[in-house]
Amino acid sequence: MPRTLLLKNATVVATMDDEQREIADGAVFITDNRITAVGPTAELPADADQVIDLSGHVLMPGLVNTHHHMFQSLTRALPAAQNAELFDWLSALFPVWGNITPEMMTVSAQTSMAELMLSGCTTAADHAYFYVNGSRLEDNLEAAHRLGMRYHGVRGAITLGRSQGGLPPDHVVERDEDAVLKEMQRVVEAHHERADDAMIRVALGPSSPFTVSPDLMRQSAVLARDLGVLMHTHTAENSKDLAFSQERYGMTPAQFAEETGWVGDDVWHAHCVHLDDHGIKLFGRTGTGVAHCPCSNMRLASGIAPIRKMLDHDVKVGLGVDGTASNDGNDLLGEARQAMLVARVRHEDPTAMSAREALWLATRGGARVLGRDDNIGRLAPGYCADLIAFDLGDIAYAGGQIDPLASLLFSAPRRVAYSIINGRTVVDQGRLTPIELPALVEQHNRLARQLVNG
């Protein structure tokens, strides 16, 4: 028999549908893992197998994180990397990450997912590009299965060691690019789910122009398209990134992306802080997506991405928290707030981005970037049952009841009261249900000390 769930009496239901409806005293009816009805509470069925009264709550779609490096939660606030720009930051951390074990990969992914889920994230793309000591993407998939997160695992790679002109030390790279391509194919064939309600999807993601060869970029693009999966990489993150592309390849990052086959509606790029006008028009014209990571970009002094200009040129834009050692958190609602604020700072214009636009990027924008705008990112019949609710009784929202949806960003963001992923309640009255947090935190801290101490 189908299982039903009714979420009723929400102060407002922000649907993020094409009409951008905000329904007062709203409700959502769920059957198994699908939304079957959305509307005023009085117009929906009154009974279900489970009923949750959301009086005093904002109910909205789960947030979509389009760029992360979950393993980096093991090296948050590392002193050697606290005050460094991107290249120096990576140079300080590469040797430490060289000691990562499969257990560390799994536990760090669990920690990142737990923190994301508590901030309202229900879908996350994790750019896992570091493979040493027997680590595999399966280590992260294990965490996703346990936590119940909708997970896009990007099988990345770094192959261009320092001796070949790349940034990473030789001992942490995967030197055999043919073997990398075979492993990418294996992971896709073993784990990529093609159903529209897929919980696990796999993408291919050579890390960046300064960590892999152009040949791997080209061949991975061909492979991804042969396999029918998406492609993800870093592009134009900071000024040194720009200089590297110009000096080594004689191209801008956007030109490099185009030359290697990395534009199209099956591609998204992280950061794009220094994407030039040519690149913005190229991305908009080809349907290429961007993962905007404002906190990390400020943390590493990379700059502020021209998101308003990208949106005006119809570039697909979603939000990402980026690595947990360059943020150093996993708060996607906080990232949406930061996206709103930095757009205003960049343009010195308070209308450059509204709270609702930022929430749109965090939901519909992210779904579009990940090729899932037809099944996640909005509350509508037939869509996956990924929903979050915030308790307006929290002191953070005191005085903000006139516009409770905007208050989620203008006030200091707080943890969700409820999170439902694929029809399953994973945060219940603020408590994460799939895992015991104190035990996870203790294990994570022990492994982090072990990692840093070598």
Q: What is the CATH number of the domain that holds 310?
A: 3.20.20.140
Question: 91 and 164: one domain?
Answer: yes
Residues 302, 401 within the same domain = no
**Predicted pLDDT at 175:** 93
User: How far apart are the C-alpha atoms of 361 and 317, rounded to whole Å?
Assistant: 7
What's the CA gap between 427 and 123, in Å, rounded?
14
- Strand 431-432 and strand 424-428: pairing? antiparallel
| Res 412: pLDDT | 81
Residue 454 falls within a domain, yes or no? Answer: no
pLDDT for 203? 98
Give the pLDDT score at 200. Answer: 98
- What's residue 431's pLDDT? 97
Q: Record the tokens describing residue 130, joined without a space.
A: 């570091």
Distance of alpha carbon 148 from alpha carbon 339, whole angstroms: 27
Residue range 367-388, pLDDT digits in tens: 999 999 999 999 999 999 999 9
77-94: pLDDT as tens digits: 999 999 999 999 999 999
Cβ 394 vs Cβ 414: under 8 Å: yes
CB atoms within 10 A of CB 429: 12
Are 42 and 125 found together in one domain? Answer: no
Whole-number Å distance between alpha carbons of 279 and 147? 38
Q: Which two tokens stand for residue 280?
A: 């913005």
Tell me, yes or no, if the pTM score tops 0.75.
Answer: yes
What's the domain range around 311? 63-369
Instruction: Identify whether residues 276 and 422 lie together within a single domain.
Output: no
Q: With pLDDT > 70 as the criterion, what percentage of the chain qualifies?
A: 100
Looking at the domain assignment, is residue 447 inside a domain?
no
pLDDT in tens, 211-268: 999 999 999 999 999 999 999 999 999 999 999 999 999 999 999 999 999 999 999 9
What whole-number distance in Å separates Cα of residue 66 and Cα of residue 293?
9
Domain C-terminal end among 337, 369, 401: 369
262 occurs within a structural domain: yes
Q: How far apart (Å, rounded) are the C-alpha atoms in residues 256 and 277?
A: 15
Residues 44 and 113 in one domain: no
The answer on 35 and 87 residing in a single domain is no
Residue 183 has pLDDT above 90, yes or no: yes
Q: What's the rounded Cα separation, in Å, for the pair 180 and 187?
A: 11
pLDDT at position 454? 82
Residue with tokens 């990395």: 262
Q: How far is it, in rounded angstroms, from Cα 288 to Cα 263?
A: 6
Q: What pLDDT score does 369 carry? A: 98
- Average per-residue pLDDT in the chain? 97
Question: Are 12 and 94 in a shared domain?
Answer: no
Average pLDDT for 436-447? 98
Distance CA 261, CA 242 (A): 19
Closest CA to 72 of 328, 249, 312, 403: 328
Q: What is the rounded CA–CA span in Å between residue 310 and residue 296?
A: 19
Structure confidence by residue, pLDDT tens digits, 37-80? 999 999 999 999 999 999 999 999 999 999 999 999 999 999 99
pLDDT in tens, 287-341: 999 999 999 999 999 999 999 999 999 999 999 999 999 999 999 999 999 999 9
Total structural domains within the chain: 2
The reply to whether 198 and 67 lie within a common domain is yes
Residue where a domain terminates, one of 369, 399, 422 = 369
3-state secondary structure the chain: CCCEEEEEEEEEEECCCCCCCEEEEEEEEEECCEEEEEEEHHHCCCCCCEEEECCCEEEEECEEECCCCHHHHHHCCCHHHCCCCHHHHHHHHHHHHCCCCHHHHHHHHHHHHHHHHHCCEEEEEEEECCCCCCCCHHHHHHHHHHHCCEEEEEEEECCCCHHHCCCCCHHHCCCCHHHHHHHHHHHHHHHCCCCCCCCEEEEEEECCCCCCCHHHHHHHHHHHHHHCCCEEEEECCCHHHHHHHHHHHCCCHHHHHHHCCCCCCCEEEEECCCCCHHHHHHHHHHCCEEEECHHHHHHCCCCCCCHHHHHHCCCEEEECCCCCCCCCCCCHHHHHHHHHHHHHHHHCCCCCCCHHHHHHHHHHHHHHHCCCCCCCCCCCCCCECCEEEEECCCHHHCCCCCCHHHHHHHCCCCCCCEEEECCEEEEECCEECCCCHHHHHHHHHHHHHHHHCC
Q: What is the pLDDT of residue 306?
A: 97
Closest CA to 67 of 208, 181, 225, 196: 208
Which pLDDT tens digit goes with each residue over 374-432? 999 999 999 999 999 999 999 999 999 999 999 999 998 789 999 999 999 999 999 99
